[in-house]
A and B are shown apart, each in its own frame.
Chain A
Amino acid sequence: MGAIPFVAMCFSVALWDRVEPMVFGLPFNLFWLIVWVVLTSCCMWVAYRLESSGNRAPNRDP
């Protein structure tokens, strides 16, 4: 789960670092990053669900 954002926002930079096409008035590179900030949160939420169902016992959160 953690690898997905790294690939999308970091290693693949050469693929999305372009001005065109503009999406919602933003250059494509900026639009791409903003979308991925939100998607990263979703990835982390999924990871959190997986983690807390995987080991309920060690997490003693009040």
Chain B
Amino acid sequence: MTPATTALTVIVAIVTIGAAIGFLAGSRQRMDLEQWTVGGRGFGTALVFLLMAGEVYTTFTFLGVSGWAYSRGGPVLYALAYLTLAYVASFFFLPQLWEIGRKYRIQTQADFFNTIYRNPYLAGFVCIVGILAFVPYIQLQLDGIGIIVSVASFGHIGRVAAMTVATVLVIAFVVANGVRAIAWVSVLKDLLMLVAAIAIGVGIPLTYFGGIGATFAALAHARPEHLVMPGSTANLGHSWYISTVLLTACGFYMWPHTFGATFTARSADILRRNAVLMPIYSLTIALMFFAGFAAVLILPHLQNGDLALLTVVRRTFPPWFLGVVGGAGALTAMVPAAILLLTAATLFAKNLYRPLVAPAMSDDGVARLARAMVVLLGAASLALAIHGASTLVSLLLAGYAMVAQCLPGVLLGLYWRQVTAIGVFSGIVVGVLTAASLMFAHLDPIGGLNAGFVALCSNFVVAVAASLATRARPSAALPELN
């Protein structure tokens, strides 16, 4: 067998096993809407941990982080800090969120807005923001699969073909099994990813330099400025770091899917225990730093940093191991893509279509419509991924800048009785417009600060001001919440 066929055979085998687990996982459950979206609210610590880890450790972790370590240097450290701090923040507000979720049978983020603010239009608007923020995120995953398969096949299989096959598989197992399938495929994916990450993060520095310490010693000697901020960038300095870490750590649980995963937990305590465990798991990111920094010295002249990791792996390890890394990478793209599609489709059917177009629709009808939407949204994001081009980290940061705009609505809704629907609505409008216009005008970072963070601050100010101005109405917050 040629190296390419060996690598590809292993990738296909891993993806097939993953898909098989997905199909088997939910086959004994009756799939009503509650079961499909939040697993019947019956997941214990282990399964919630897996689901959340499955959502967090995406292609971004594998290819994006090592790619930025390679191309940008120091600023990539934000990735380790923000994930850890996101769990710290989650410890304090997720349990509260879960209580409200159980009380009012909330399944999605928009349900939450509808419950707190009693305004289906605000909820619908939040849905639209969420779905829009997903676009770059889903595109990131599909791009990742394209990169993995084309590098692993030594260019024999094109990006487009690889992305198409992966999209079809993802759609198939989401439609059949919902959220339970995703949690179980995560088991395989996380195991493989840990093995691959350790082998890569330790193995590559060892092969070329004799150890991790020796790699950094060589890099500190050759390019010391690459290791600190702003690294190899012009304007990603300390103020960018602080604003980006704050934006992403706080925005982390505003993603409709991470928000939704909260409700799969059996109790609020499980969420607290998770917040204690999860930071340790983010150490995998440090391993990707090692690989990316080593690649700076091994392959100094790559055009696209996102290719750095796999190109080094292809050069260093035998083809079958390239296959294992590729397979793990493909699953780390497919699992999150599945979650994103599931969430976006549920949001659309349950919180946008039913309340505003067809109020008489039954839960089963919503579930059917959501399944149809999975197919449609999957096809649409595939089309975008085929035509778009951007680095993986920039795609993620663009999504964060959008989705974090929901934060004021959630925090104020949980902790401030004076908040009104109009206040939150105007805040989100201002925040989204600010973020989008700054990014389109290439003013990110602006004044050394992350554009999404600037947008979030203006959003907070507007939300509070507009709430105070419209306070004459009876308090929007639920009386029994405080």
Contacts and interface: CB of A to CB of B under 8 A. Distances in A.
A44 B276 contact: yes
Counting chain B CB atoms within 10 Å of each CB, the highest count among A6, A20, A36 belongs to: A6
Contacts of B277: 41
A26 B227 CA distance: 10
B212 interface: yes
Contacts of A6: 85, 88
Interface in A1-49: 2, 5-6, 9-11, 13-14, 17-20, 22, 24-27, 29-30, 33-34, 36-38, 40-41, 43-45, 47-48
A43 B276 CA distance: 8
A47 B242 CA distance: 24
A46 to B, nearest CB: 9
Interface in B438-454: none
Contact of B88 (A5, A18, A24, A30): A5
A40 B83 CA distance: 11
A28 to B, nearest CB: 9
A24 B238 CA distance: 24
A27 B273 CA distance: 31
B425 to A, nearest CB: 29
Contacts of A27: 216, 220, 227-228
A33 B276 CA distance: 17
A19 B228 contact: yes
Interface residues of B, number: 44
A48 B80 contact: no
B167 to A, nearest CB: 34
Counting chain B CB atoms within 10 Å of each CB, the highest count among A20, A41, A51, A62 belongs to: A41
A59 interface: yes
Contacts of B249: 10
Given A9-B81, A41-B280, A48-B272, A25 B88 contact: no
Contact of A30 (B92, B214, B286): B286
B245 A10 contact: yes
Interface majority SS on B: helix, strand, loop or mixed? helix
Interface majority SS on A: helix, strand, loop or mixed? helix
A26 B212 contact: yes
B155 interface: no
Interface size class of A (residues with CB under 8 A): 35 or more
B18 interface: no
B270 interface: yes
Interface string B195-231: 0000000000000000111101100100010011100
Interface in B235-293: 238, 241-242, 245-246, 249, 266-270, 272-273, 275-277, 279-280, 282-283, 286, 289
Contacts of A33: 77, 80-81, 286
Contact of B269 (A18, A40, A59): A59
Given A10-B81, A60-B267, A17 B213 contact: no
Contacts of A14: 238
14 contacts: A5-B85, A10-B246, A13-B229, A19-B220, A19-B227, A19-B228, A26-B216, A27-B228, A30-B77, A38-B279, A38-B280, A41-B279, A48-B275, A52-B269
Interface of A: 2, 5-6, 9-11, 13-14, 17-20, 22, 24-27, 29-30, 33-34, 36-38, 40-41, 43-45, 47-48, 51-52, 59-62
Interface of B: 74, 77, 80-81, 84-85, 87-89, 91-92, 211-214, 216-217, 220, 224, 227-229, 238, 241-242, 245-246, 249, 266-270, 272-273, 275-277, 279-280, 282-283, 286, 289
Given A10-B85, A22-B217, A44-B279, 19 more contacts: A5-B85, A5-B88, A9-B245, A10-B81, A10-B242, A10-B246, A17-B74, A17-B229, A20-B220, A25-B213, A25-B214, A33-B77, A33-B286, A34-B283, A37-B280, A41-B279, A41-B280, A52-B269, A59-B269
Please list the 9 inter-chain residue pairs (A to B) with the smallest Cβ-Cβ separation, ordered nearest first.
A25-B213, A61-B269, A44-B276, A9-B81, A61-B267, A41-B279, A40-B279, A10-B245, A27-B227
